[in-house]
């Protein structure tokens, strides 16, 4: 069966400079095995399937798959799926506010001058990282525990643990090995720089360590931590993907009630049909 399909680059307005996501716009009738098989075939960090919502408050429901597992939430697939869903509708019928249903519940999205934005979901786990784990993470990153300014659990679905280093240059210099958990690293750029922070995301895949080009879920939870502790002030922009020759830009803002919004550009790179 032919199903409408788009591949969307996220956190960029320049094609092939962000993080791609594959979006199957009609996932109705597909079972879990079919979704997993297609996600393995695309071999992207995430593939999504759009389904009718089960909540009357949602515009659509999405399931998010990596090549090896299903995620309850992920940031760049959220923006990329919303971009693809909107692109299927006439411009006059595209709402300014959208509600996505996914594994963590309802996620509001809105259109902003910086691109589509999602409201950061609540953290499932927070709090400081214990000393032995800081030491183990430091060894994975090839640094010493004294190089770590702070470390915090910032899990909003994928299981992120975050490490703050003193400088953005220190983040760019990392060459990690043996990473066995989803690990985010952030460091500030000097005042007056193009972006406020440099971010990198590392995760295990089998025995290998892979790096995600631009990571919405991590930047959402990093923002919640950095803003709460006074290490950042909104609005700010983070850069990610530099080591991978990408130019991801993540725009962070807040509402008066403290809601953190994560925005970025989205652009369709491929469109057509998938046989599923």
pLDDT tens-digit map of 45-103: 999 999 999 999 999 999 999 998 999 999 999 999 999 999 998 888 889 899 999 99
Share of the chain above pLDDT 70, in %: 100
User: For residue 9, is the peptide bond before it cis, meaning its omega torsion is within 30 degrees of 0?
Assistant: no
User: Rounded mean pLDDT of 271-275?
Assistant: 96
Say which residues have a Cβ less than 8 Å from residue 130's Cβ, sequence separation at least 6.
Answer: none
Examine the domain organization and report whether 235 and 134 are in the same domain: yes
> How is residue 56 annotated by DSSP?
T
Number of neighbours of residue 233 by Cβ within 10 angstroms: 11
Examine the domain organization and report whether 251 and 146 are in the same domain: yes
For residues 78 and 109, what is the distance between their CA atoms, to the nearest angstrom? 9
Residue 168: pLDDT band by 50, 70, 90 thresholds? very high
Examine the domain organization and report whether 81 and 155 are in the same domain: no
Asked whether residue 207 carries a pLDDT value surpassing 90, the answer given is no
Give the residue carrying structure tokens 């399937």.
49
Domain count, the chain: 2
187 phi and psi angles, rounded to 5 deg:
-150, 145
pLDDT for residue 205: 86
Query: Residue 100 belongs to a domain with what CATH number?
Result: 3.10.310.10
Share of the chain above pLDDT 90, in %: 94
At 119-131, the pLDDT tens digits run 999 999 999 999 9
Examine the domain organization and report whether 151 and 41 are in the same domain: no
pLDDT for residue 43: 94
Examine the domain organization and report whether 95 and 155 are in the same domain: no
pTM assigned to the model? 0.94
Structure tokens at 54: 């089960």
From 269, 271, 251, select the one nearest 260 (Cα to Cα). 251
Examine the domain organization and report whether 71 and 133 are in the same domain: no
Examine the domain organization and report whether 59 and 164 are in the same domain: no
Examine the domain organization and report whether 144 and 91 are in the same domain: no
pLDDT for residue 32: 97
> How is residue 121 annotated by DSSP?
P
Asked whether residue 255 carries a pLDDT value surpassing 90, the answer given is yes
Active site residue 46: yes
How high does pLDDT run on average in the chain? 96
Examine the domain organization and report whether 149 and 244 are in the same domain: yes
Exposure on the CB side of residue 168, measured as CA atoms within 13 A:
17
User: Where are the strands (E) in 72-122, listed by range?
Assistant: 97-102, 105-112, 115-119
Examine the domain organization and report whether 190 and 227 are in the same domain: yes
Examine the domain organization and report whether 268 and 247 are in the same domain: no
CB contact at 8 A, 252 and 236: yes
Asked whether residue 22 carries a pLDDT value surpassing 90, the answer given is yes
Range of the domain at 197: 125-258
Examine the domain organization and report whether 8 and 85 are in the same domain: yes
Identify the active-site residue in 46, 70, 130, 211. 46
């Amino acid at each position: 069966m032919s199903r409408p399909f788009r591949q969307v680059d996220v956190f960029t307005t320049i094609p092939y400079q962000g993080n791609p996501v594959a979006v199957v716009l009609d996932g109705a009738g597909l079972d879990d095995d079919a979704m997993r098989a297609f996600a393995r075939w695309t071999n992207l960090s995430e593939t999504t399937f759009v389904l009718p919502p089960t909540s009357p408050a949602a515009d659509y429901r999405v399931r998010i798959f990596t090549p090896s597992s299903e995620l309850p939430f992920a940031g760049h697939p959220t923006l990329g799926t919303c971009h693809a869903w909107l692109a299927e509708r006439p411009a006059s019928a595209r709402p300014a506010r959208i509600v996505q249903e996914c594994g963590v519940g309802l996620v509001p999205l809105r259109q902003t001058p910086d691109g589509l934005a999602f409201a950061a979901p609540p953290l499932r786990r927070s709090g400081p990282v214990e000393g032995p784990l800081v030491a183990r993470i430091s060894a994975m990153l090839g640094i010493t525990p004294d190089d770590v300014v702070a470390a915090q659990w910032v899990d909003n679905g994928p299981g992120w643990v975050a490490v703050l280093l003193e400088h953005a240059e220190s983040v760019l210099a990392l060459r990690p090995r043996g990473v066995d958990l989803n690990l985010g690293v952030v460091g500030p750029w000097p005042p007056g720089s193009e972006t406020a922070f440099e971010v990198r995301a590392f995760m295990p895949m089998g025995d290998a360590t892979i790096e995600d080009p631009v990571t919405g879920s991590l930047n959402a939870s990093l923002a919640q931590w950095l803003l709460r502790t006074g290490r950042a002030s909104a609005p700010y922009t983070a850069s990610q993907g530099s080591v991978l020759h990408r130019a991801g830009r993540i725009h962070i803002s807040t509402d008066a009630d403290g809601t953190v919004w994560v925005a970025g550009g989205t652009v369709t790179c491929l469109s057509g049909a998938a046989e599923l």
